[in-house]
Amino acid sequence: MKQGKYGYLLNQYSIIIGIYTNLDDLCNSIKEQIVLVSKQIQTFSFFAQHERLTKDLSKESAQFLWLQVFNYVIARLPRNQQAKEQMIQMCKEYYRGNRTEIKLIEEFEQHYKAEDAIRWYSKQSFIYKLVNKALRTEDIELLYKFRFFIGDLSESLQCQHKNIVESEEQILNVYRGTTLDREEVQKLKQNKEKLISTNGYLSTSRDRSLALSFALKPTKRIDVVSTLFHIQCHIKEMDENIIFADISEYDKSQNYFQQLVTDPNDEDQAWIEYNIGRALLCKGELYRAREYYDRAYDRMMKNKPARIKDSAHVLSDIGDIL
């Protein structure tokens, strides 16, 4: 099939993402869209607070209030062994056949401690995916099954939040770069000066340039808009029930490796890229891990002589992803 023959369809139908003549390219595009769609399930709820005295709450206002009481309720549910086993069983059933995720679930089952909650969430593996899915779809049954972990995560975030509140910092500026569908962007514009609630935990960065790079990440979809959020928190004036926490320390090892790639000095760059891949794999970011593994492997193969023995470690980890 000639790709150019059908190129006109891209402009004629917005639902068409791309035209592919190569199966690998098609599969990679499908994977990319699955990730994007999972992140774009309704992200925001709105509350027109000026309407509360004049008429019944709208459906969205009710959703807004539901999200506000969620953390309060979930933190008071029992987090016993039964709750943990129920969660583990559900995760194993959901990821049946996925060796990478099952391996992480078994590691969680054997070694997890309450103080590790933020680290496990920041891995963006099975816990991150399922908890966010439950929050964004407001799936009460699924949220209840994750009560064991969400309670620990909420307590850990509160501890980190306390550190910020007790610091000398007065104003916190953070950024989030993402893509939103045009309908949601329009909804944001229509709800200026109203209360807005995110459906779940919102990850941000103090680094504006880093957040902007996420917003400008290439996509073939024409129905989405690159969006950069700037959130300013007046720390001493914030309601005590609004929790925000700095969890950057959990990414320090990965940042160190990335700094070495930029300025490697006498370090072995192939091994540096390999270790970035391992860090990303532990976080559950399989596609980005594969990118670094491929770079490390190519670098080893271009070496004179080719580093066959070293490359075996890289190929073994790629096999785990596949």
Q: What is the DSSP string of 157-190?
A: HHHHHHHHHTSS--EEEEEEEEEEEHHHHHHHHH
Cis-peptide into 305, omega within 30 deg: yes
Residue ranges in the chain modelled with pLDDT below 70:
1-17, 33-72, 74-75, 199, 249-268, 282-284
Per-residue confidence (pLDDT) for residue 84, from 0 to 100: 93
Tokens for 210?
A: 């880093």
Tokens for 119?
A: 């680290």
**Which numeric CATH code is attached to 249-321?**
1.25.40.10
Domain with CATH 1.25.40.10 in the chain: 249-321
Per-residue confidence (pLDDT) for residue 236, from 0 to 100: 84
Per-residue confidence (pLDDT) for residue 319, from 0 to 100: 83
Tokens for 301?
A: 């193969």
- Crossing angle of helices 23-40/286-302, nearest 10°? 140
Per-residue confidence (pLDDT) for residue 87, from 0 to 100: 93
Alpha carbon distances (Å) from 21 to 5, 31, 143 = 11, 16, 41
Q: How far apart are CA 18 and CA 31, in angstroms?
A: 13
| Residue ranges with strand state E in the chain | 44-47, 171-181, 195-198, 224-234
Tokens for 101?
A: 């995720």
- Cα angle for residues 42, 47, 52 (degrees, 5° grid): 150
Burial class (CB in 10 A: 0-12, 13-18, 19+), 276: buried
CB 135 within 8 A of CB 143: yes
Per-residue confidence (pLDDT) for residue 112, from 0 to 100: 92
Burial 102-135 (b: 16+ CB within 10 A, else e): eebbeebeeebeeeebbbbbbbbbbbbbbbbebb
Closest CA to 139 of 148, 151, 131: 131
pTM of the model: 0.60
**Residue 236 DSSP SS3:** helix
